[in-house]
Amino acid sequence: EAGVAQSPRYKIIEKRQSVAFWCNPISGHATLYWYQQILGQGPKLLIQFQNNGVVDDSQLPKDRFSAERLKGVDSTLKIQPAKLEDSAVYLCASSTRGVMGETQYFGPGTRLLVL
Amino acid sequence: GNSVTQMEGPVTLSEEAFLTINCTYTATGYPSLFWYVQYPGEGLQLLLKATKADDKGSNKGFEATYRKETTSFHLEKGSVQVSDSAVYFCAPQLPTGNQFYFGTGTSLTVIP
């Protein structure tokens, strides 16, 4: 079974530029998550989708971050404009139904450096 | 509020030593408890989990027991190997919305 795919793996941009990340979850997984992991910290949930609807985006900085999952499969996360403090690894995860006790499967992440 | 406190690293052990990584949490409701591991250059992987009080999760020689009375989920292994070198994350999963709260991670290095 293929795992969660993410691209690009690395991205370097200057502040105030825009950037987009892509995620393709495990086939059949209805729930998709985006996390931000700043160096030395644990991952922090940014947004959770159930199929193509948003379940939780309470920690997403909506003035600059946006995410979509239009067809309920793959997803994109965008930052516009980027700030220095956005430098982090952006992780995508998926799970079958999004219920408690269920394992989330993580992709390899996209490492973003904002200069 | 919801939070998780994880033993600070880095931790360095000799091969075959006993490992304990402490994890305590505060949560609204009755969470499921997970340990995830991140090997060098790789993504997060599930190590083990427990979904109710007194359950013991185990995998690859690692164990952790869900202790509701002390709100803890300490990770243990009797004899570590060099290949166990990684960063370990404790992650309670809230009963509402199944959101994870990750600890800061504990870096483990096992030397031969």
pLDDT in tens, B63-79: 999 999 999 999 999 99
Q: Which position has the higher pLDDT, B24 or A2?
A: B24
| Sign of the CA dihedral with B56 first, then B67, B47, and A57 last | positive
pLDDT at residue B97 greater than cutoff 80: no
| Closest by Cα among B10, B13, B22, B20 to B87 | B10
pLDDT value at residue A1? 66
A59: closest chain B residue by CA: B99
pLDDT value at residue B98? 73
Q: Which of B11-20, B32-41, B90-99 has the highest mean pLDDT?
A: B11-20
Q: Which amino acid is at A63?
A: D
Q: A71 to chain B, minimum CA–CA distance in Å? A: 21
Chain B residues closer than 8 Å to A98 by CB: 98
Q: B13 to chain A, minimum CA–CA distance in Å? A: 20
- In degrees rounded to 5, what are phi and psi of residue B23? -145, 125
Is any Cβ of chain B less than 8 angstroms from the Cβ of A84?
no
The 10s digit of each residue's pLDDT in A64-106 is 999 999 888 999 999 999 999 999 999 999 999 878 788 899 9
Confidence of residue A49 (pLDDT cuts 50, 70, 90): very high
Instruction: Judge whether A59 and A69 are in contact, CB under 8 Å.
Output: no
Chain A residues closer than 8 Å to B44 by CB: 43, 91, 93, 106
pLDDT value at residue B100? 86
Per the omega criterion (within 30 degrees of 0), is the bond before A25 cis? no
Is any Cβ of chain B less than 8 angstroms from the Cβ of A39?
no
